[in-house]
């Protein structure tokens, strides 16, 4: 029930803020707003304000405001309180206000999430140790081994995983001199990172996996791991009798739901724990939503709360990444149409919101912010039924110095509604196919 409420509240807030953007700018410009509706269909709740009728309707796929003089086929008097009687830039301001307020929503709620709930920051060792080496990789060819510690790259001291990965990724394929510590030996290995191209993005890899300490993070008291006897800060020494050195080695490559026997160190005490698996819905590599066997443990992490200033900086970085991801996704789909299968609709949004809530309120808020930014971009697409479509019409009329004829509007509307229907049908098909 809480999950359903979280989904409804999350989507409802995004719609409310979007329509409020149109509403408040229209009112500021002196345009008469007749109706303000959240949802479509017959009203299940309504109240008459001084000027505006406020409604809540049962179909939660959007909302609208109805302004005086917004119907291009109605007879306009030229009054300033009529939407279509206003100047072009004023009409564009009203149209663009909805998407703008969706972005503003993200700018408001993200600093709150960063400062109040904080960010989960993975606890990493202050050294860089190799755990796995891919076959036929540059690392294997040059003789790197499991357990090797990378102390320097091109003479520069390396004391964090982030720095090592950054220097490898930013090598541009140039040969790197790695200062290696192997047991009591110290020597240098020169290796040239391999270029990989994925989704038209080039990156460079050595073909290695680095160590994350096999220490257990926070556990809810109702989790299977807690009930099995594990506690936060427990260190896993072995799994099913095989010694491990990194967190990712805890999990079997093929998880068939079997109990795994963990050798655990807690302080000076060493003991065994049988950990049962659980079934949880996840998105598979093929994009399907399936119940899969998993173990409800997480690596050690700290919660870092940011100051307001740092939270604002992180907010703008997050929003910038969101815009880049949207741009990149649209570009990728244009070049590789098969990738359109990854587009999601209302069911996918609901699933993401529900999943984020389980990860914590901070994750929930961050996903609401990201989806709100996506909603802003979608609404600026040049379809007749979107804000972008309205803006396109207003710009056409301003440039040509004439009103768009009724026949032209009907053709534009037909194309717009047709494209919108196809998009909606496609994403709904994607949503449904994820479950089957």
- Residue 75 per-residue DSSP state: P
428: number of CA atoms within 13 Å, CB side? 7
Write the CB contacts of 218 (distance below 8 Å, at least 6 apart in sequence).
232, 298, 301
Cβ atoms of 396 and 411 closer than 8 Å: no
**For residues 311 and 114, is the Cβ–Cβ distance under 8 A?**
yes
d(CA 289, CA 433): 9
Tell me how far apart the alpha carbons of residues 20 and 105 are, in angstroms, rounded to a whole number: 11
β-bridge partners, 45: 56
Cβ-based neighbour number of residue 424 at 10 Å: 13
249: annotated active-site residue: no
Say how far apart CA 243 and CA 135 lie, in whole Å. 22
CA 257 to mean position of chain CA atoms: 29
- How many of the other CB atoms lie within 10 Å of CB of 423? 16
- Exposure class string for 75-93: b at 16+ Cβ within 10 A, else e: eeeeeebbbbbbeeebbbb
The catalytic position among 19, 70, 90, 249 is 19
Sign of CA dihedral 400, 404, 407, 413: positive
Q: Which of 284, 281, 295, 203 is nearest to 249 (CA)?
A: 295
Name the 3-class secondary structure at 235: strand
Known catalytic residues?
19
């Amino acid at each position: 029930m809480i999950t359903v409420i979280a989904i409804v509240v999350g989507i409802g807030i995004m719609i409310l803020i979007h329509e409020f953007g149109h509403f408040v700018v229209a009112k500021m410009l002196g345009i008469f707003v007749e109706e303000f509706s959240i949802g479509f269909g017959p009203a299940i709740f309504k109240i008459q304000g001084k000027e505006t009728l406020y409604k809540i309707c049962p179909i939660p796929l959007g909302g609208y405001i109805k302004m005086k003089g917004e119907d291009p086929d109605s007879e306009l008097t030229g009054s300033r309180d009529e939407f279509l009687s206003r100047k072009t830039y004023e009409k564009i301001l009203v149209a663009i206000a909805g998407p703008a307020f969706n972005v503003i929503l993200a700018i408001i709620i993200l600093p709150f999430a960063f400062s109040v709930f904080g960010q989960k920051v993975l606890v990493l060792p202050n050294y860089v140790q190799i755990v796995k080496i891919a076959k036929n990789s540059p690392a294997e060819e040059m003789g790197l081994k499991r357990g090797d510690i990378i102390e320097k790259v091109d003479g520069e001291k390396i004391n964090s995983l982030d720095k090592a990965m950054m220097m490898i990724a930013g090598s541009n394929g140039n040969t790197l001199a790695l200062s290696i510590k192997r047991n009591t030996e110290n020597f240098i290995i020169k290796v040239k990172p391999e270029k990989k191209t994925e989704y038209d993005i080039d990156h460079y890899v050595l073909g290695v996996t680095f160590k994350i300490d096999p220490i257990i993070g926070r556990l809810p008291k109702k989790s299977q791991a807690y009930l099995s006897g594990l506690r936060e800060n427990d260190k896993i020494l072995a799994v099913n009798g095989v010694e491990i050195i990194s967190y990712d080695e805890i999990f079997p490559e093929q998880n068939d739901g079997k109990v795994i026997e963990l050798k655990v160190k807690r302080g000076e005490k060493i003991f065994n724990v049988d950990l049962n698996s659980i079934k949880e819905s996840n998105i598979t590599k093929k994009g399907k939503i399936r119940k899969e066997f998993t173990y409800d443990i997480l690596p050690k992490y700290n919660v870092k709360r940011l100051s307001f200033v740092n939270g604002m900086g992180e907010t703008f970085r997050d929003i910038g990444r969101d815009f880049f991801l949207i741009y990149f996704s649209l570009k990728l789909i244009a070049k590789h149409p098969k990738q359109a299968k990854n587009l999601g609709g209302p069911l996918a949004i609901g699933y993401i919101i529900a999943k984020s809530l389980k990860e914590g309120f901070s994750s929930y808020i961050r996903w609401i912010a990201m989806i709100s930014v996506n909603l802003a971009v979608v609404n600026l697409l040049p379809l007749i039924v979107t804000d972008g479509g309205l803006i396109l019409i207003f710009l056409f009329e301003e440039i040509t110095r004439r009103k768009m004829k009724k026949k032209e509007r009907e053709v534009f509307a037909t194309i717009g509604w047709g494209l919108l229907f196809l998009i909606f049908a496609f994403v709904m098909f994607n949503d449904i196919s994820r479950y089957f």
